[in-house]
Amino acid sequence: MTLSTDLLDILACPEDKGPLYYVEAEDLLYNPRLQRVYEVRDDIPVMLIDEARNVDTAEHERIMGVIESSGLTPTFDA
């Protein structure tokens, strides 16, 4: 199941308040500015900073490659 468009339209990073990318195939929301992953568990975004995971440069580049190759857009325009 995918996250609803209405929900995605309002989701923002809880730390920097900026847009996120929803990578449905990997059940995650990604903040490229902070290189941070927020997991989506059982179709519920876990938007807690303490439960987020920072990624290294290689993982950031991999996720950005998925985002670009899939033509994903951010949750909202900043």
> pTM of the predicted model, to two decimals?
0.94
What's the pLDDT tens digit per position in 22-62?
A: 999 999 999 999 999 999 999 999 999 999 999 999 999 99
- The residue segments making up the domain with residue 52 are 5-70
Number of domains, the chain: 1
d(CA 17, CA 57): 22
Predicted local confidence at residue 45, as pLDDT? 97
Q: Give domain status of residue 78, yes or no.
A: no
Q: Is the dihedral of CA 5, 9, 10, 15 positive or negative?
A: positive
Q: Give domain status of residue 61, yes or no.
A: yes
Q: Give domain status of residue 77, yes or no.
A: no
d(CA 28, CA 17): 17
Q: Give domain status of residue 25, yes or no.
A: yes
Predicted local confidence at residue 1, as pLDDT? 67
Q: Give domain status of residue 33, yes or no.
A: yes
Q: Give the domain CATH number at 43.
A: 2.20.25.10
Within the chain, what is the greatest distance between any pair of CA atoms?
A: 32
Q: Give domain status of residue 75, yes or no.
A: no
